[in-house]
């Protein structure tokens, strides 16, 4: 009995960082592509990816990587999409499915679609998964397991290509949801982008203080601060580009966040304990629901280990 043929002949991953290399590993582990190649501007990343056995070949030129590929996934920072799309276009053959993993989806359509030759299908995607680490060595095959992957097919997309992409992500253990790009950008602004912004912000505020030393911030960080440093340690280029490319939704959500924070500030100033207590009581229920939905661990303190607790 022979192995069932892989759904894709050649998978080309453009950008072999944390997410790109996790896709490559997962595609290998769950037999999704006969050949897996990548393109990356960094020679170190290309060498690492080949040495780790994550890809069969690595190219500096995106057009070479996508030549003969039937699935191409962009895993570069959002600000590089236009240039990358232009660079790879000459290598793209008719029938190729192009997708991506970017955190904003309206900008992706705007930046990539104009460069694609006719006959190439473009269906943007976004696996809602990651860690605070970067680079090809940080990836792992199970990163997407149990996590959601959102696909945002533009109007008139080929249902057969959507089905193939759906199958690709499902094979990694992802749950797949299809939605409109505009709605995606709103949802991610509140579940991911604004949380990252305020985490980066408070770490910056603490770092700038003169009345409290940096060594004190570090020593007493277990009081809550350290939780924020995890996402504030995420890739700076990737996150700069997220904010510049999902500006409208981020500014909208940020406005609401600030309004609400101002109301809490006022409650503190005027000793309005009831307002504080009411908010603090209903937020517990949301964590419970996230745990029940399998999107969070039930262990106290994230099940942290190696920091004193056994």
Positions in 196-225 near its own copies (CB under 8 A): 196-209, 211-212, 214, 216-225
118 makes contact with its own copies (CB under 8 A) = no
Q: Are 162 and 190 within 8 A, CB to CB?
A: no
3 makes contact with its own copies (CB under 8 A) = no
Q: Measured from the CB of residue 298, what is the shortest distance to its own copies in angstroms?
A: 7
190 makes contact with its own copies (CB under 8 A) = yes
- Total Cβ atoms within 10 A of residue 87: 19
Q: Measured from the CB of residue 274, what is the shortest distance to its own copies in angstroms?
A: 9
Site for its own copies in 120-139 (CB under 8 A): 128-133, 138
- Residue 68 vs 173, nearer CB to its own copies: 173
Compose the 62-101 pattern: x for residues touching its own copies by CB under 8 A, - for all others. -----------------x----------------------
- Residue 47 vs 214, nearer CB to its own copies: 214
- Residue 91 vs 127, nearer CB to its own copies: 127
Calpha distance 22→49 (Å, rounded): 11
DSSP calls for 187-255: HHIIIIIHHHHHHHHHHHHHHH-SSS-HHHHHHTGGGTHHHHHHHTTS-HHHHHHHHHHSHHHHHHHHH
Total residues contacting its own copies by CB under 8 A comes to 120
- Total Cβ atoms within 10 A of residue 2: 4
Q: Are 138 and 166 within 8 A, CB to CB?
A: no
Q: Are strands 71-74 and 148-151 parallel, antiparallel or unpaired?
A: unpaired
Sort 72 into a burial class: Cβ within 10 Å, 0-12 / 13-18 / 19+. buried
Q: Measured from the CB of residue 241, what is the shortest distance to its own copies in angstroms?
A: 8
108 makes contact with its own copies (CB under 8 A) = no
Q: Tokens 């699935």 map to which residue? A: 71
Site for its own copies in 253-282 (CB under 8 A): 253-254, 256-258, 260-262, 264-265, 268-269, 271, 273, 276-277, 279-282
50 makes contact with its own copies (CB under 8 A) = no
Q: Are strands 121-122 and 97-100 parallel, antiparallel or unpaired?
A: parallel
Q: Measured from the CB of residue 26, what is the shortest distance to its own copies in angstroms?
A: 12
Compose the 224-253 pattern: x for residues touching its own copies by CB under 8 A, - for all others. xxxxxxxxxxx-xx-xxx-xx--x--xx-x
Among candidate residues 167, 160, 158, 165, the one with its CA nearest the CA of residue 119: 158
DSSP calls for 104-115: -SHHHHHHHGGG
Q: Measured from the CB of residue 286, what is the shortest distance to its own copies in angstroms?
A: 6
């Amino acid at each position: 009995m022979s192995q069932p043929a892989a759904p894709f002949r050649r998978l080309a991953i453009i950008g072999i960082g944390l997410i790109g290399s996790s896709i490559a590993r997962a595609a290998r582990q769950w037999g999704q592509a006969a050949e897996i190649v990548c393109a990356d501007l960094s020679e170190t990343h290309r060498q690492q990816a080949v040495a780790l056995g994550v890809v069969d070949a690595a190219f500096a030129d995106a057009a070479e990587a996508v030549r003969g590929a039937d699935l191409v996934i962009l895993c570069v920072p959002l600000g590089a999409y236009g240039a990358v799309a232009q660079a790879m276009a000459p290598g793209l053959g008719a029938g190729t499915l192009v997708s991506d993993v970017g955190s904003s989806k309206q900008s992706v359509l705007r930046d990539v679609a104009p460069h694609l030759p006719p006959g190439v299908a473009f269906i943007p995607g976004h696996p809602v998964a990651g860690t605070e680490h970067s680079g090809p060595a940080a990836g792992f095959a199970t990163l997407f397991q149990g996590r959601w992957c959102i696909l945002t097919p533009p109007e008139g997309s080929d249902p057969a290509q959507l089905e193939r992409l759906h199958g690709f992500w499902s094979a990694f253990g992802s749950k797949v949801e299809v939605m409109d790009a505009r709605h995606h950008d709103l949802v991610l602004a509140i579940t991911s982008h604004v949380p990252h912004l305020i985490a980066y912000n408070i770490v910056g505020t603490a770092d700038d203080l003169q009345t409290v030393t940096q060594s004190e911030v570090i020593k007493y960080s277990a009081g809550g601060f350290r939780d924020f440093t995890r996402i504030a340690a995420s890739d700076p280029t990737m996150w700069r580009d997220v904010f510049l490319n999902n500006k409208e939704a981020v500014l909208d959500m940020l406005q609401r966040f600030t309004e609400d924070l101002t109301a809490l500030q006022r409650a503190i100033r005027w000793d309005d304990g009831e307002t504080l207590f009411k908010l603090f009581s209903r937020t517990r229920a949301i964590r419970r629901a996230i745990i029940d939905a399998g999107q969070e661990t039930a262990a106290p303190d994230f099940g942290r280990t190696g920091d004193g607790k056994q």
